[in-house]
């Protein structure tokens, strides 16, 4: 019995030593998209990634860059992994399954007498959107031809300013990102030519956009895949998503990914 106990203890110690040896600090390149990924490496997406990899025994170090530049940096050899990759996007490494979805829709002032409930309602109105929206969102490119004015811009807080200032009727993009920039404008000490406290609404007019992670080391990708499924099964991922949606509930209502 004692011999069996010694063998069991020895096996446990060896297994624990192997687990520790395999643990790694993983440098992850991420796009600067508050509140999904803030410049300091916090945010909804950051929390999901960090929680998943820590469950596997790894630690995470985020390097946050302008969105899309982080893909180019990873392609050029920087980092151990990269975030927010559209499925099938041509990057080196091993992709995971979907770990997050963004919810694109339309944001507008709640004071509008005719709210935007469908894509067709935007016809004849001035609309702003994120860079590449006409190509990325199915059907949106064709619909944009009927807008009175249409602009795409990488600086998404400018979209909020245009909506609050009445220079655009609606902004098309992820609702949580719009809500975060609205929060920043409310707390800004900048003298603004509009009232940033005006209530806004968000309607999720489009299907959620799925994203995957891409890892250089296939073992890290397998770890992420396994531990994400565990965190998803026990409700951890849903709890993270709901907690972040709750922060912006006044803008998002119940239309953001049904949370």
116 in the same domain as 47: no
User: Mean pLDDT over residues 227-232, rounded?
Assistant: 98
User: Of 187, 203, 219, which residue sits at a domain end?
Assistant: 203
What are the Cα distances from residue 211, in Å, to 58, 71, 165, 175, 217? 21, 13, 32, 16, 19
75 burial via Cβ count (<10 Å: 0-12, 13-18, 19+) = middle
Q: Is residue 120 part of a domain?
A: yes
91 in the same domain as 17: yes
50 in the same domain as 96: yes
Edge-first strand order for the sheet with 126-130 is 149-153, 126-130, 170-174, 104-109, 200-203
185 in the same domain as 229: no
Q: Is residue 94 part of a domain?
A: yes
Q: Is residue 44 part of a domain?
A: yes
User: Mean pLDDT over residues 210-216, rounded?
Assistant: 97
pLDDT at 228: 98
89 in the same domain as 128: no
Number of H helices and E strands in the chain, helices first, is 10, 11
239 in the same domain as 151: no
pLDDT at 41: 97
Q: Is residue 175 part of a domain?
A: yes
User: Mean pLDDT over residues 70-84, rounded?
Assistant: 98
- The Cα–Cα gap between 228 and 97 comes to 9
In the chain, pLDDT over 90 holds for what percent of residues? 86
Place of tokens 């509140």: 35
User: Mean pLDDT over residues 44-61, rounded?
Assistant: 98
Give the best-scoring range by mean pLDDT among 6-20, 65-79, 131-145. 65-79
216 in the same domain as 91: yes
- The Cα–Cα gap between 248 and 243 comes to 9
148 in the same domain as 83: no
The CATH number assigned to the domain holding 143 equals 3.40.190.10
Q: Over 80: is that where the pLDDT of 18 sits?
A: no
User: Mean pLDDT over residues 8-33, rounded?
Assistant: 65
Sign of the CA dihedral with 7 first, then 8, 13, and 17 last: positive
Q: Is residue 257 part of a domain?
A: no
199 in the same domain as 225: no
Tokens of 98: 């979907």
Domain that holds residue 149: 104-203
Q: Is residue 108 part of a domain?
A: yes
Q: Is residue 42 part of a domain?
A: yes
173 in the same domain as 131: yes
User: Mean pLDDT over residues 83-89, rounded?
Assistant: 96
171 in the same domain as 92: no
Tell me which of 31-35, 75-79, 131-135 is least confident: 131-135
pLDDT at 132: 86
195 in the same domain as 228: no
| Number of domains present in the structure of the chain | 2
- The Cα–Cα gap between 233 and 227 comes to 10
CB atoms within 10 A of CB 63: 15
């Amino acid at each position: 019995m004692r011999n069996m106990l010694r063998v069991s203890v020895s096996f446990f110690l060896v297994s624990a030593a192997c687990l520790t040896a395999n643990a790694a600090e993983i440098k992850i390149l991420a796009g600067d998209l508050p509140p999904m990924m803030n410049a300091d490496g916090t945010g909804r997406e950051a929390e999901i990634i960090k929680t998943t990899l820590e469950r596997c025994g790894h630690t995470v170090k985020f390097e946050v860059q302008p969105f899309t530049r982080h893909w180019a940096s990873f392609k050029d050899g920087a980092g151990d992994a990269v975030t927010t990759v559209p499925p099938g996007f041509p990057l080196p490494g091993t992709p995971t399954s979907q770990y997050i979805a963004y919810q694109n829709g339309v944001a507008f002032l709640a004071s509008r007498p005719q709210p935007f409930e469908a894509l067709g309602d935007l016809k004849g109105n001035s609309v702003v959107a994120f860079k590449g929206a006409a190509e990325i969102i199915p059907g949106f490119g064709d619909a944009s031809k009927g807008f009175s004015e249409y602009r795409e811009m990488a600086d998404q807080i400018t979209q909020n300013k245009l909506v609050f200032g009445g220079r655009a009727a609606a902004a098309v993009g992820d609702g949580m990102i719009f809500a975060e920039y609205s929060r920043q404008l409310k707390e800004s000490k900048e003298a603004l030519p509009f009232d940033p406290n005006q209530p806004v609404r968000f309607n999720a007019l489009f299907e959620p956009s799925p994203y995957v992670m891409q890892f250089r080391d296939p073992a890290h990708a397998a770890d992420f895949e396994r531990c994400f499924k565990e965190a998803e099964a026990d409700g951890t991922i849903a709890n993270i998503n709901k907690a972040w949606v709750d922060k912006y509930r006044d803008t998002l209502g119940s239309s953001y990914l049904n949370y």
